[in-house]
Chain A
Amino acid sequence: GQSLEQPSEVTAVEGAIVQINCTYQTSGFYGLSWYQQHDGGAPTFLSYNGLDGLEETGRFSSFLSRSDSYGYLLLQELQMKDSASYFCAVRALIKAAGNKLTFGGGTRVLVKP
């Protein structure tokens, strides 16, 4: 099975940089995904790391290290609108597990002025 651990909450000020770590235990997976969810809203896809290394999408970057069973999402130049919950997720490599994604518990990011 899959198990993903994230910090429950992070607080930072506008303009700062926040790193959200995701450690996982899984028997094998295709890659690590990240989703953002504002309060009362639906999760939306942010990024995907299929290979080890850094993926950059504007102010957000995501990193994966399979050897360390670890990944992170980096939020730069924080803005008030970045206040949200962020979830990491993995898709099992085992064919019998189908296409399903397993999500971590989420990290609530609070951006202060």
Chain B
Amino acid sequence: NAGVTQTPKFQVLKTGQSMTLQCAQDMNHNSMYWYRQDPGMGLRLIYYSASEGTTDKGEVPNGYNVSRLNKREFSLRLESAAPSQTSVYFCASSSQGSGANVLTFGAGSRLTVL
């Protein structure tokens, strides 16, 4: 049982390049999330998807787009990377109702933008 799987684990980009972070969960969860975590900081929500077919902005959505491809997959795209987007990105999923308080996180994707 893999839980939440993110790819890639590490990526280095040059300013202006684009890339997509992939996330898949096998727990039949309805809700999925993308967070970023800067050194010594908490987790800030970029985008989330409460259920298949819906996506909503979080606290820091600028510079990102998302796609909820199906119930299992939720991707995060950087169209034109900037050094300020250097961070660790975590995908997470949860069930609904009271289960929404329990997030299962992926291992993280460490992105450096030069």
A91 vs B98: C-alpha distance when bound (angstroms): 10
Chain B interface residues (CB < 8 Å from chain A): 31, 33, 35, 41-45, 48, 50, 56, 58-59, 90, 94, 96, 98, 100-108
B42 touches A106 (CB 8 A): yes
B100 touches A91 (CB 8 A): yes
A44 vs B31: C-alpha distance when bound (angstroms): 17
A95 to nearest B CB, angstroms? Answer: 10
Chain A interface residues (CB < 8 Å from chain B): 30-31, 33, 35, 41-45, 48, 50, 87, 91, 98-106
B41 touches A45 (CB 8 A): no
A104 vs B42: C-alpha distance when bound (angstroms): 6
Q: Which of A30, A48, A87, A100 contacts B33 (CB 8 A)?
A: A100
Instruction: Known contacts A43-B90, A45-B102; decide if A100 and B45 are in contact (CB<8 Å).
Output: yes
Q: Which of A41, A43, A91, A99 contacts B43 (CB 8 A)?
A: A43
Residue of B nearest to A33 (CB): B101
Residue of A nearest to B58 (CB): A100
B58 to nearest A CB, angstroms? Answer: 6
Residue among A35, A98, A106 having the largest count of chain B Cβ atoms under 10 Å:
A98
